Structure 1
Amino acid sequence: MKVILKKDIVTLGDAGEVVEVKNGYANNYLIPQGIALRATEGALRALDTERKQQAKKIEQQRIAAREIADRLQQLSLKVSAKAGESGKLFGTVTSGDIAEALKNEGVSVDRRKISLEAPIKALGNYEVGVKLFMDVSATLKVTVEAEG
């Protein structure tokens, strides 16, 4: 019997796949547990429509991410922090601080998408990676300056 998986199953496949299973397995376990549906013509058409909508949505998100990436590539961000005479910061500049500075520039990026290997502890110029989407990332130039 052919069924459409609603959830990922390690031994069968991923959600949305059409797989062939034995009748008893489908009727006694997969379908009653809500893990799969029978692969009828209507269900297959609905699955196809859903996949097309999902692909369209992903493409729109990718386009938006590319626009933000282009803007980040051109942006030179300045972050102010308290520092001593030697140029060492009294605290650190974290991805949260960078996200806040980006928000002030009009670009909204989640702090978890900003990849810092370690918090910034000294004044200077840095390049920070930002992963915006599955295959879209950008490099942001950050300058850490002393306050006042």
Structure 2
Amino acid sequence: MKVILTHEVTGLGTAGDVVDVKDGYARNFLFRRGLATAWTKGGQKQVDALAKGREVRAVKSLEEAQSIKGTLESKAITVAAHAGTGGRLFGAVSTADIAAAVQAAGGPELDKRRIEVPTPIKTTGTHSALVRLHPEVQATVELDVVAG
């Protein structure tokens, strides 16, 4: 089944890409989460609109992405979260929390959809997250999660 991605999906493509996936994956995962729409002949207009939006939001050049990577990897990012005894958090640290903490630390404004956390952050301590800045540039951000 051909679908048009409306958001970036890891391992599949970015917004505006037309990809061929299995019917069940499209119906049960992509459509339900609003990550894709079915491809139609008129869907090409939607693909063009998504591509224009992606160009506006994307980091314009590789050099700019490299400088942002250097800034992110050199900053100490502290995330305050509600924690109980033993350092266990009530809930987990979300990508939106990470984006807000980066901006509060004087870093650039990040799109929460470009932040990937390999395992859910449910304890205090040091953790890492991956930020996709450009198709060729990824930054690893070290997070210090504290009870707050």
TM-score relative to the length of structure 2: 0.57
Deviations 1:15-50 (A, max 9, x none): xxxxxxxxxxxxxxxxxxxx9xxxxxxxxxxxxxxx
Q: CA deviation at 1:129?
A: 1.0
Q: 1:116 to 1:59 in 2, by over 3 A?
A: closer
Q: Cα distance, 1:60 vs. partner? A: 4.7
Identify the residue that residue 81 of structure 2 maps to in structure 1.
Answer: 81
The residue number in structure 1 matching 2:99 is: 99
Give yes or no for contact 2:123–2:145 (8 Å, CA) kept in 1: yes
Gaps of 5+ in 2: 1-16, 19-43, 45-57
Map Cα deviations across residues 67-102 of structure 1 (whole Å, 9 max, x no partner). Answer: 100001101100011101111001210111000111
- The letter for the 2-side match of 1:110 is D
Aligned position for 2:111: 110
How far 1:123 moved relative to its partner?
0.6
Name the CA shift for 1:98/1:59 in 2 (closer, same or farther; >3 Å). closer
Identity of aligned residues (%): 34
CA shift at 1:64, angstroms? 1.1
RMSD over aligned Cα, in angstroms? 2.4
Give the total of aligned pairs.
93
CA deviation after TM superposition for structure 1 residue 118, in Å:
3.3
Which residue of the partner structure matches residue 123 of structure 2?
122
Q: Which runs of 5+ in 1 are unaligned?
A: 1-7, 10-34, 36-57
Displacement, 1:66? 0.8
Q: Tell me: CA distance 1:92–1:132, structure 2 relative to 1, closer, same or farther (3 Å).
A: same
